[in-house]
Amino acid sequence: MSLPIGVGPDLSSIQGLIDEHVYPKLLEHAVPDARLHYRFSEFIPDFRGSTLAINHVRTLPEYKCAHTILVTPDNSLELLRQRALEDGKKVLVATHQLKRGYVLLDPTRIDKTKFEIASILDVMERPGLGRYLSLAELQDEGIYVDLWITGFIAMTPRGVLLQESQNHIQWQWRMLSYQGIIEHRTPLVGVGHDSQILDEKKFNVVEIKPQKDHVQYDIIVSTDSTIRVNGAYKPSKSDCETLLDGPISDNLSNIPSLAEVKGILMMNRIMRSHGIGQENKKPQEPTSDEQMGIDIINRLMRDNKV
């Protein structure tokens, strides 16, 4: 289930604002999902007029100069995925809830007549279209994301995401940052309908600020406007390593990509602590926790070869 993630007013107040001022208006513009109808807690919908928002995105300097774009698997961004391929950009798409890692759509490897179907979530994973890549494989192939574009349910004009989706934006940022696939300067763009931008000032609510170590969006693009956020906060790579090294909630424990990066983190720590790559240092036997990390990496490597 999606949860409000801003801080300032208490969480129940934020959810109340979303329930009262976002959902009713969004229902007027949202396109229902074929299976999930209007259950916005389970997906981010397309909306009437999304073509206008996508056209605005394509005019951004950050978009024009990007070679590889990370696009969330949101209904509202299907056309963007197609247009990005047509514009000659590689498109990286996370699978649903990160269950199968990432799918890379490379316009140089896909027939131009198939760009449209390659942008469809239920089709892109078919042979000849997208290619599965784990975090380690993304790093090994030197994939670097120049621009990250997501949909959203509710956001403030200052780039604070008010309701986390099943895309796990915060955890994705931490994992990709630690792996060097994105950097602190990588622009983060949110695309949505005007009704999804919740200006708390209009409701006499204290300014909602992002939770500690949560990313803040640089640009918000809607049907009628483009908002730029000055000094958007993003945790550094070292901050991301600290967060990844900490405990995770039960609902995240079954995400393979998160298990993968935690295993990589542990392996890197083992290598540093045992002087691997350093001269004149005698290797030590790994501890039980370190051996668990080694086992995770070995299992992931075997799985990737299947």
Q: Is residue 1 part of a domain?
A: no
Q: Is residue 99 part of a domain?
A: yes
pLDDT in tens, 63-120: 999 999 999 999 999 999 999 999 999 999 999 888 888 999 999 999 999 999 999 9
State which of 235, 252, 274 marks the end of a domain: 235
Q: Is the same domain home to 129 and 77?
A: yes
Spatial distance between the Cα atoms of 231 and 240, rounded to a whole number of angstroms: 19
State which of 190, 207, 235 marks the end of a domain: 235
Please report, in tens digits, the pLDDT of each residue of the chain (306 residues total): 344 455 555 556 788 888 888 999 999 999 988 888 888 878 899 999 999 999 999 999 999 999 999 999 999 999 999 999 999 999 999 998 888 889 999 999 999 999 999 999 999 999 999 999 998 899 999 999 999 999 999 999 999 999 876 678 988 999 999 999 999 999 999 999 999 999 988 888 788 888 778 899 999 999 999 999 999 999 888 888 888 887 777 667 678 788 888 888 888 778 777 666 555 555 566 666 656 666 666 666 566 554
Domain containing residue 260: 238-305
Spatial distance between the Cα atoms of 149 and 262, rounded to a whole number of angstroms: 25
CA dist 171 → 85, 96, 164, 175, 178 (Å): 26, 14, 11, 6, 11
Q: By three-state DSSP, how is residue 11 classified?
A: helix
Q: Is the same domain home to 194 and 268?
A: no
Q: Is the same domain home to 117 and 254?
A: no
Q: State the CB neighbour count (10 A cutoff) for residue 216.
A: 18
- Partner residues linked to 31 by β-bridges: 46
Q: Is the same domain home to 215 and 297?
A: no
pTM of the model: 0.84
Q: Is the same domain home to 147 and 271?
A: no
Q: Is the same domain home to 154 and 258?
A: no
CATH number of the domain that 140 lies in? Answer: 3.40.50.10420
Spatial distance between the Cα atoms of 292 and 267, rounded to a whole number of angstroms: 9
Q: Is the same domain home to 220 and 149?
A: yes
Q: Is the same domain home to 164 and 291?
A: no
Spatial distance between the Cα atoms of 254 and 265, rounded to a whole number of angstroms: 17
Q: How many domains, in total, are found in the chain?
A: 2
